[in-house]
Amino acid sequence: MIKRRKVIYNILMVAGLLIVLNSLSSMFFLRADFTEDKRYTLDRSTKRILKEVNEPIIITLYISEDLPTDVNRTVKDLKNLLTEYSHYSNRKIDFEYINPNKNQGLEQEAIEAGIHPVPLEVREKDQLTVQRVFWAW
């Protein structure tokens, strides 16, 4: 009985600690860049410029879903960079993602914004398919 209480107590303590850490992580921004060339580190002048943003800026990204891994990695890097921009601008820079492949209206909106679909060859399990993707911002 005592052992069971101790296990429940430990589980509750770990869960509470995770909740506190999660809350703190949403308030504070921390990003460590261990790359040799510091490719994920913003320059001081960039941070200064971002802090001086006065008017809200919304960046719209037209990105298809289910992109190949190498392209998806680039999209993930871009999203991380925009998240960092948002942080340093005190949330004055925001962004939205639109998947133009979702429906005809969104596809037309992307085309009217000057973003046209690009054929992309995708290799999956010994098959080569051509996928129509949007990938611009």
Please indicate whether residue 128 or residue 43 has the higher confidence score (pLDDT): 43
- Sheet with 57-63: strands ordered across: 93-98, 57-63, 135-136
Residue 29 and residue 37: Cα distance in Å, rounded? 21
Q: For residue 62, report the phi and psi dihedrals to the nearest 5 degrees.
A: -100, 105
- How far is Cα 46 from Cα 108, in angstroms, rounded to an integer? 34
At residue 137, does pLDDT exceed 90? no
More confident residue, 108 or 29: 108
Q: How confident is the model at residue 29 (pLDDT cuts 50, 70, 90)?
A: low
Q: Is the pLDDT of residue 26 over 70?
A: no
pLDDT at 18 over 70: yes
pLDDT at 52 over 90: yes
CB 68 within 8 A of CB 121: no
